[in-house]
Amino acid sequence: MRRFSQRNSLVTLSEINITPLLDLAFVLLIIFVITRPLLEQHLDLQLPKNMGRADTRKIDTRDVRRVEITPRGDYWLQGRHLTLAQVESELDRTHRQDPRLIVDVAADRRVPWDYVIALLNVCSRHGIMQVCPRTAPADHP
């Protein structure tokens, strides 16, 4: 009897199957799309209600820097906890690089006005004229 070796029946693969790689890429894309909005909102702030109309202007998000103020007077710039002096230097540096800078102020409604006014003074002192207060959507249309 003659034995046949399996070496003769082996076929070399000349193509790589990328289907599992594409599946993995799509799963990662979906995960990042879902988790990104969750990562942007670092603090649990109770924003004041917006009683007016919503602004419908188109804004380039690369020009916006979000400053959040907690009820204890802590400042957060783009998700980083900073002092007011550090926020001032960061905003000044950014405004020099991008004159279209928009400061998005999200202050908790329980924040004493002193903290908000201090931030507005910083913006005014450095010529940052586009300051946008963040509010919660109105309950009525």
Enumerate the domain spans of the chain: 6-40, 61-133
Side-chain-side CA neighbours of residue 30 (13 Å): 6
pLDDT of residue 37: 67
- For 3-40, how does the pLDDT look when each residue is reduced to its tens digit (9 = 90+)? 555 555 555 667 778 888 889 999 998 888 887 766 66
Residues in the chain where the model's pLDDT stays below 50: 140-141
**Two tokens at 44?**
């649990």
Instruction: Considering the domain delimited by 61-133, tell me its CATH architecture.
Output: 2-Layer Sandwich (3.30)
Q: What pLDDT shows up at residue 94?
A: 92
The pLDDT, as a whole number, for residue 61 is 80
Judging by DSSP bridges, how do beta strands 75-77 and 64-69 pair with one another? antiparallel
Cα-Cα end-to-end distance for the chain: 88
Residue 140: predicted pLDDT: 42
Residues 132, 136, 140, CA angle at the centre, nearest 5°? Answer: 120
Q: Can you read off the two tokens belonging to residue 53? A: 């109309």
- In which residue are the tokens 């799509």 written? 26
Residue 27 is inside which H or E element, if any?
helix 19-40
